[in-house]
Amino acid sequence: MADTDHCCSTQLIDGDGEFNVVGLDNFMRTTKFSNCGLSYAVVAIMGPQSSGKSTLLNHLFQTNFREMDAYRGRSQTTKGIWIAHCVGIEPFTIAMDLEGTDGRERGEDDTTFEKQSALFALAIADIVLINMWCHDIGREQAANKPLLKTVFQVMMRLFSPRKTTLLFVIRDKTKTPLEYLEPILREDIQKIWNVVSKPAAHKDTPLSEFFNVEVTALSSYEEKEELFKEQVAQLRQRFFNSISPGGLAGDRRGVVPASGFSFSAQQIWRVIKENKDLDLPAHKVMVATVRCEEIANEKFCRLSSDEDWLALEEAVQSGSVSGFGRRLSSILETYFSEYDSEATYFDEDVRNAKRKHLESKALDLVLPAYLNQLGHLRFKVLENFKSRLEQMLKEGEGFAASAHACTESCMHEFDLGCADAAIKQANWDASKVREKLRRDIDAHLLSVRDAKLSELVARYEEKLRQLLCEPVESLFDAAGRDTWASIRKLLRRETETAALEFSTAISSFELDQPTIESMLQGLRDYARNLVVKKAREEAGKVLILMKDRFSTVFSHDNELMPRVWTGKEDIKTITKDARTASLRLLAVMAAIRLDEKPDKIENILLSSLMEGTVTSPDPLASSTWEEVPPENTLITPVQCKSLWRQFKSETEYTVTQAISAQEAYKRSNNWLPPPWAIVAMVVLGFNEFMLLLRNPLYLMFLFVAFLLSKAMWVQMDVPGQFQHGTLAGLISISSRFLPTVMNLLKRLAEEAQGHRTPESPRQQESSVAFQSFRNQSQLNPTSSIAQSSVSSNVSVSDSSVEYSSPNLMQRRSTKVQEAELSQ
Ligand SMILES: Nc1nc2c(ncn2[C@@H]2O[C@H](COP(=O)(O)OP(=O)(O)OP(=O)(O)O)[C@@H](O)[C@H]2O)c(=O)[nH]1
């Protein structure tokens, strides 16, 4: 198959009916036919073989269709269908040269290709030139009759008429004027039209409905070439602006856009070859569908690999891109407008449907990037919100006011960001992302608010703890009749003060009333629980408190001075008072009385445990107090009973000690002999007494002895030493006395034996150390027993003890002087 036999003409369909796709595409590319849209015309020529068709086209359109060499005889030169660009004619015009009809080469009966090519020309061309010999007009056996029959018959196979212009070109015009020839020709045409069998739908359809019939005549090319050329030149003028209204093809219908010409021609030829009827409207839609889809796909492919788009997509992966919407809109707009311009001449419905499809695919492609952009925006705005809120709170702004201001500004920031990210081509809904941001902001606000409130609550709880714990503990330590009243008062006062301050502090949070009430109640409950907890703690050590209370009352007089057991005290009454005080303390600690409800716990305890009143049943043989709910019970009646037993046994010793101390005191103060002994002494010692009185020396001796005794009595604090018992007094006194006496005795013995040895330096050191120890021991009388044993040991073995007596020291120095003199 020859693609191009000569310059500018292309074989579209070869003699065997093969469509030259490559050749047509090449023709379209080289002539830039695709860009013509609907602004083009196709002119085909039909006629008997060797009737000068190619010659006419070549002269008319300056084409180069192959012509027969006149000197070699008439034979078929054009095989199949050829096309060529009619240079110089506007709009873009394609000349189509068809294989001649009634050709001897195919035989008389082989009209298949003739019919197929005729139908093809009628489906494609806007103007069909019917080439005919002048002498055939009005002839019964004219060569053009079968041709016209064919044209009319195949035309019926088109579903809708295209208003093709049939231009009859009468060749080798005679002298007969055209005015005479044309009516005869039209009559011939009409006759043929009338006899052609038509489908029922077109039975009465006039010829003019299907065709515009035009007639022209040309002189013989061979005989009157110049005239021929002149007439052809005039005819050429009719092809300028042929598609404009009033032009040769001004009424044409169903034009396929130039960019779909190749596909359309192929499809039409395929349908014709399959011997099917041609539904041109459906064909037009089909061509539009295929072509628009091709255009849309091509645009989408180019968009997918567009450098600007890829750069934008990559940039948005890692962060928010400024001017995202503007950039993306511009990229999309490029491809959508290209589609529009290329698909503009195709069927509108198809074109719009395919555009929507292209938009949808393109938007699907770019949507993730948009969502990424929104995601970055949402994250950025949320972070800004957090830092702004923190800053405002740091600056001391109220929580609700800060939250409101930050939320407003951040949502506005998000809206601006959304507007920046939005594209013209889609009305993407950012409301879900906005809602998510709002939810995140609300959640953050809630968590910050809860944290701040918790902090505030903790601060006030700590304050309450400081204000309540120690005072309550102190009140329990001094438990008495008014303890619970004082605790209630303290609790009420501190709680209400704290609640008032707390209310003011949380006012900036703009909480609803129930929440505020609930928080205040929480604070009150906390304070109450603090007191309850403290009460339970104190109740846990009630025995110690009772013993302290007992000891305080028992060991101190009414003026809170330590009691000295002189024998005049009524230990029984004091014990009873002390126990009663302890029992009252137990009664105070037995139950929580924060609700000001009276109870009989103290009465029950006093009557059952102190007064020993026996009632049946025993009110203390129970684990609950009457009128006191279990949750307010700190010490049950039965526990009270057991505690009382333990308390009594543990305080017994103190009482016994007091009694012993009292007896010892009595004994120590009762040093006079019995009266009968005094009388006997007076009677029997009267003479000696008088002697003493009469002798001033004796009297003076007695007086000195008295003074010495008194001095020792005071110095050694004899009554004080005996205050802790007789034994302790004796030990203490003897510890002071005994070493001196022992030393004295030893020294006397040594002197008597004359074995006195000089003092060594070591002994002198010991003497100094001992003196220091004595001084310390005098400062610390509590360790007197231990000191006494130590000092006695030292005194016995060490002669330096005697230096503690000035007399002995003096005596020693005399002795040393005597020894030195004798040496
Ligand atoms: N008598 C006469 N002969 C002509 C005219 N124009 C061309 N011819 C001659 O007719 C012969 C055939 O010319 P073509 O132009 O090849 O005819 P055709 O119809 O294209 O032939 P096919 O393509 O084979 O059907 C040539 O020898 C031409 O010189 C004309 O106007 N009158």
pLDDT of 782 over the 50 cut? no
Give the domain ranges of the chain: 9-247, 454-540, 543-667, 724-822
**Ligand 1 center–CA 91 separation, angstroms:** 28
- For residues 258 and 256, what is the distance between their CA atoms, to the nearest angstrom? 6
Q: What is the CA radius of gyration of the chain?
A: 69
Task: Render pLDDT for 209-236 as a digit per residue (tens, 0 to 9).
Answer: 889 999 999 999 999 999 999 999 999 9
Mean pLDDT of 318-332: 94
pLDDT of 104 over the 60 cut? no
Q: What is the pLDDT of residue 768?
A: 39
The CATH superfamily holding the domain 9-247 is P-loop containing nucleotide triphosphate hydrolases (3.40.50.300)
Stated as kind and residue range, the H or E segment containing 212 is strand 211-217
Q: Is the CB of 54 under 6 A from ligand 1?
A: yes
Mean pLDDT of 498-511: 92
Task: Render pLDDT for 582-634 as a digit per residue (tens, 0 to 9).
Answer: 999 999 999 999 988 888 898 899 888 877 777 777 888 888 888 889 889 99
**Ligand 1 center–CA 99 separation, angstroms:** 13
Residue among 55, 64, 72, 228 to mutate when testing ligand 1 (max atoms within 8 A of CB):
55
- Average pLDDT of the chain is 84
Residue among 98, 222, 226, 231 to mutate when testing ligand 1 (max atoms within 8 A of CB):
222
Q: What is the pLDDT of residue 144?
A: 72
Residue among 64, 169, 221, 235 to mutate when testing ligand 1 (max atoms within 8 A of CB):
221
What is the pLDDT confidence band of residue 76, given thresholds at 50, 70 and 90? low
Q: What is the pLDDT of residue 802?
A: 34
Q: Please tell me the residue having the least CA distance from ligand 1 atom 25.
A: 49
Q: Which of 311-325, 503-517, 568-582, 684-698 has the lowest mean pLDDT?
A: 684-698
Residue listed under structure tokens 């969502």 = 371
Instruction: Confirm or deny that 503 is annotated as ligand binding.
Output: no
Q: Please tell me the residue having the least CA distance from ligand 1 atom 21.
A: 50
Stated as kind and residue range, the H or E segment containing 96 is strand 92-98
CB 634 within 8 A of CB 655: no
**Ligand 1 center–CA 170 separation, angstroms:** 13
Q: What is the pLDDT of residue 661?
A: 86
pLDDT of 500 over the 90 cut? yes
**Ligand 1 center–CA 48 separation, angstroms:** 10
- For residues 608 and 231, what is the distance between their CA atoms, to the nearest angstrom? 152
Instruction: Confirm or deny that 582 is annotated as ligand binding.
Output: no
CB 159 within 8 A of CB 279: yes
Task: Render pLDDT for 20-61 as a digit per residue (tens, 0 to 9).
Answer: 999 999 999 999 999 899 999 999 999 888 889 999 999 999
Residue 47 CA: nearest ligand 1 atom is 19
**Ligand 1 center–CA 221 separation, angstroms:** 8
The string of DSSP codes covering 291-321 is HHHHHHHHHHHHHHT-HHHHHHHHHHHHS--
Instruction: Confirm or deny that 489 is annotated as ligand binding.
Output: no
Closest to 243 measured CA to CA, from 345, 100, 132: 345
CB 219 within 8 A of CB 228: yes
Of 75 and 814, the structure prediction assigns the larger pLDDT to 75
Q: Please tell me the residue having the least CA distance from ligand 1 atom 7.
A: 52
Around Cβ 203, how many Cβ atoms within 10 Å?
A: 8
pLDDT of 123 over the 50 cut? yes
Q: Is the CB of 743 under 6 A from ligand 1?
A: no
Q: Which of 197-211, 241-255, 661-675 has the highest mean pLDDT?
A: 241-255
Q: What is the pLDDT of residue 7?
A: 45
Q: Please tell me the residue having the least CA distance from ligand 1 atom 23.
A: 78
What is the pLDDT confidence band of residue 703, given thresholds at 50, 70 and 90? confident
Q: Is the CB of 231 under 6 A from ligand 1?
A: no
Stated as kind and residue range, the H or E segment containing 335 is helix 324-343
**Ligand 1 center–CA 485 separation, angstroms:** 138
Q: Is the CB of 67 under 6 A from ligand 1?
A: yes
pLDDT of 786 over the 50 cut? no
Residue 77 CA: nearest ligand 1 atom is 24
Q: Is the CB of 114 under 6 A from ligand 1?
A: no
pLDDT of 509 over the 80 cut? yes
Residue 220 CA: nearest ligand 1 atom is 31
Instruction: Confirm or deny that 48 is annotated as ligand binding.
Output: yes
Q: Is the CB of 68 under 6 A from ligand 1?
A: yes
Q: Is the CB of 212 under 6 A from ligand 1?
A: no
What is the pLDDT confidence band of residue 69, given thresholds at 50, 70 and 90? low
Q: Is the CB of 129 under 6 A from ligand 1?
A: no
Q: Is the CB of 70 under 6 A from ligand 1?
A: yes
Mean pLDDT of 700-713: 85
Task: Render pLDDT for 440-461 as a digit per residue (tens, 0 to 9).
Answer: 999 999 999 999 999 999 999 9
Whole-number percent of the chain with pLDDT over 90: 53
Q: Please tell me the residue having the least CA distance from ligand 1 atom 8.
A: 52
Task: Render pLDDT for 727-777 as a digit per residue (tens, 0 to 9).
Answer: 667 777 777 767 777 777 888 887 776 544 444 444 444 343 334 333 433
Around Cβ 544, how many Cβ atoms within 10 Å?
A: 11
- For residues 142 and 150, what is the distance between their CA atoms, to the nearest angstrom? 14
pLDDT of 103 over the 90 cut? no
Of 805 and 264, the structure prediction assigns the larger pLDDT to 264
* CA distances, 507 to each of 165, 392, 399, 460, 488 (Å): 92, 17, 9, 15, 28
pLDDT of 791 over the 50 cut? no
Q: What is the pLDDT of residue 809?
A: 38
Alpha helices (runs of H) in 14-52, residue ranges in sequence order: 21-31
Q: Is the CB of 225 under 6 A from ligand 1?
A: no
- For residues 565 and 668, what is the distance between their CA atoms, to the nearest angstrom? 12
Give the relative orientation of helices 280-304 and 348-394 as an angle to the nearest 10 degrees.
Answer: 30
Q: What is the pLDDT of residue 101?
A: 77
CB 743 within 8 A of CB 802: yes
Q: Please tell me the residue having the least CA distance from ligand 1 atom 15.
A: 52
CB 776 within 8 A of CB 784: no
Buried b (16+ CB within 10 A) or exposed e, 75-112: eebbbbbbbbbbeebebbbbbbbbbbbbbeebeeeeee
Instruction: Confirm or deny that 436 is annotated as ligand binding.
Output: no
- For residues 623 and 641, what is the distance between their CA atoms, to the nearest angstrom? 11
Q: Which of 149-163, 631-645, 720-734, 765-779 has the lowest mean pLDDT?
A: 765-779
* CA distances, 761 to each of 755, 756, 764, 769, 800 (Å): 19, 16, 5, 13, 11
pLDDT of 406 over the 50 cut? yes
- For residues 651 and 553, what is the distance between their CA atoms, to the nearest angstrom? 12
The token duo for 19 is 């469509």
Mean pLDDT of 478-503: 92
The token duo for 316 is 């948005």
Residues 6+ apart with CB under 8 A from 595: 632
What is the pLDDT confidence band of residue 405, given thresholds at 50, 70 and 90? very high
Task: Render pLDDT for 511-561 as a digit per residue (tens, 0 to 9).
Answer: 999 999 999 999 999 999 999 999 999 999 999 999 999 999 999 888 888
Q: Please tell me the residue having the least CA distance from ligand 1 atom 12.
A: 50
Q: Is the CB of 59 under 6 A from ligand 1?
A: no
Closest to 487 measured CA to CA, from 470, 499, 500: 470
Q: Which of 287-296, 351-360, 774-783 has the lowest mean pLDDT?
A: 774-783
- For residues 520 and 464, what is the distance between their CA atoms, to the nearest angstrom? 13
Is omega for the bond preceding 617 within 30 degrees of 0, making it cis? Answer: yes
Q: Is the CB of 78 under 6 A from ligand 1?
A: yes
Q: Is the CB of 77 under 6 A from ligand 1?
A: yes
